[in-house]
Amino acid sequence: MATPSLATPLALSLLHLLLVFLCHSSASPNPRLSNRTPRFPARSSLTTPQLLTQQQQHQQYRYETRYFEQQLDHFSFADLPTFRQRYLINTEYWAGPARMGPIFFYCGNEGEIQWFAANTGFVWEIAPRFGAMVVFPEHRYYGESMPYGSIDEAYKNATTLAHLTAEQALADFAILITDLKKNLSAEACPVVLFGGSYGGMLAAWMRLKYPHIAIGALASSAPVLQFEDIVPPETFYDIVSNSFRRESTSCFNTIRESWGILESEGQKNDGLLQLTKTFRLCRKLGSMDDLYNWLESAYSYLAMVNYPYPANFMMPLPGDPIKEVCRKIDNCPNGTSVLDRLFAGVSVYYNYTGEFDCFQLDDDPHGLDGWNWQACTEMVMPMSTKQDSMFPASDYNYTSYQLDCWNSFRVKPRPKWITTEFGGHDFKTALKMFGSNIIFSNGLLDPWSGGSVLDDVSDSIVALVTEKGAHHLDLRAVTAEDPDWLLEQRESEIKLIRGWLHDYYDKKQAFFAM
């Protein structure tokens, strides 16, 4: 039986969401969530070597790996080194420039690009039907697309990390597409953007900022409104919480009750040691925060990947994994302690295959990490928890958020920048008068759905919402177990994309006919 490597649980942990017990004396004695922006599911580029599981290897699609030289700063002319951006490309089904074959372009997000390629079967599967080229570019500062030659150099400090921003990443994409098209004499070929999670935000923003480069975007599970006060800060954890409550009230109550018990245990003399045993940790628990973080990560990720069939997105999991977690928690023999029930539950998430003897917690939550940097600069998504959730109640506290970022990176967040640059406030009025061809697809089980666009904005900026979908389920490969509503959602997407393309070809023809 293997010990889980740091790689596996780290990738899963919501580092930034560690349930920090802020020493607020008697005023708030309960464990509190930190204010950090939660993490999206992704393979961290820092958790190398990455071993793809067998299932993931099967999901690998055929592509060529190439590299493109990018400016580190597109918006200034400072004398900075360039870097090599990795991208995956497949032209096998491409109809070519003469027939204006489309280019399907996935906006790579915060992780290694081949992992996103492996988990975005939808794009690969529909490309042949469209005669489309497929391109998966990697996001700067992740995977192999490292400025300054190496991860260690790129992640050294705030100065080297300075250019890890969404706007720079979008400019990378814009330049890469322009160059690719030129080299293939494919200037007239329409580009359709795809993206899930943060990648979905990038896809939507790219359509808004670079309409001359891409004719439309499928933005799946993209919480573009999870900024400032646009949506209530408790939205995310309310959805997580409700996913458990919906499954089983007793399960929800057990989790809710557990925080106080954990806290009492932790305050005992040998508390940390006892908890190390209860949760079968490989090394002695260093602080309660690590444990809170580990548990909270499991709940949040379970809500995100609460897919209707067995999947191996973050971890190998059964279908409807929250149902399974709650079954374990609820069905323990009478007399089983709350913490033992909890352990049985989270083991579904961390150890469904039963291969691990013990668990290694991430104990460096403040480590220099790409998403943490992004959360500490632009991606400031206010988060809180309410009294009636299964988490300890906690207000959003920007002061401590900012302090945490300063301590971690010596950087000051710019919490209003994203909405200034990309909009968000009064989103509908702005986009009703502007823009077109964006699909915001969301599953309501996904805790990120609350920060996304759930209503149509206009005829061509539309929301596709599924009640039982989770985090960008629509982007995953077809399986035999796909429910009808999922098939229908994907068909709607295909139909809309086809419409954009027809519209584009019509306008092109009208232009040629002039």
User: Interface residues with a second copy (CB under 8 A)?
Assistant: 71, 73-79, 158-159, 161-163, 165, 167-168, 171, 174-175, 178, 187-188, 208-213, 215, 377, 411, 414, 416-417, 420-437, 503-504, 507-508, 511
Residue 472 DSSP one-character state? T
Residue 40: partners with Cβ closer than 8 Å, 6 or more residues away: 109, 110, 197, 198, 304, 371, 448, 471
Q: Which residues pair with 461 in a beta bridge?
A: 438
CB of residue 401 to a second copy, shortest distance in Å: 16
Q: How many CA atoms lie within 13 A of 456 on its CB side?
A: 5
* Smallest distance from a second copy to CB 199, Å: 19
Name which of 295 and 497 has its Cβ closer to a second copy.
497
Residue 322 and residue 327: Cα distance in Å, rounded?
Answer: 8
> Which CB sits closer to a second copy, 169 or 346?
169
CA Rg value for the chain: 23
- Active-site residue list: 197, 446, 471
Cβ distance to a second copy smaller for residue 211 or 271: 211
Which residue in 317, 298, 319 sits closest to 307, CA to CA?
319
> Which of 91, 436 has the CB closer to a second copy?
436
Cα(9)–Cα(359) distance, integer angstroms? 8
**Which residue, 229 or 270, is less far from a second copy as judged by CB?**
229
For the bound state, the minimum distance from the C-beta of residue 431 to a second copy, rounded and expressed in Å, comes to 7
Q: Which residues of 461-485 are buried (b: 16+ CB within 10 A; e: fewer)?
A: bbebbbeebbbbbbbbbeeeebeee
Q: Least distance to a second copy from the beta carbon of 168, Å?
A: 6
Closest separation between CB of residue 499 and a second copy, Å?
A: 11
Q: Which is nearer to a second copy, 213 or 342 (CB)?
A: 213
Q: Tokens for 431, please give them.
A: 């986009």
Sign of the CA dihedral with 226 first, then 235, 484, and 58 last? positive
Question: What share of residues in the chain are helix, strand, coil (percent, to 5)?
Answer: 45, 10, 45
- DSSP element (H, E) containing 401: helix 398-409
Q: How far is the CB of 175 from a second copy (least distance, A)?
A: 6
CA dist 309 → 92, 299, 330, 447 (Å): 30, 18, 21, 18
> What DSSP line would sit under 197-264, residue for residue?
THHHHHHHHHHHH-TTT-SEEEEET--TT-STTSS-TTHHHHHHHHHHHHH-HHHHHHHHHHHHHHHH
* Residue closer to a second copy, measured from CB, 65 or 429: 429
Cis peptide leading into residue 49 (ω within 30°)? yes
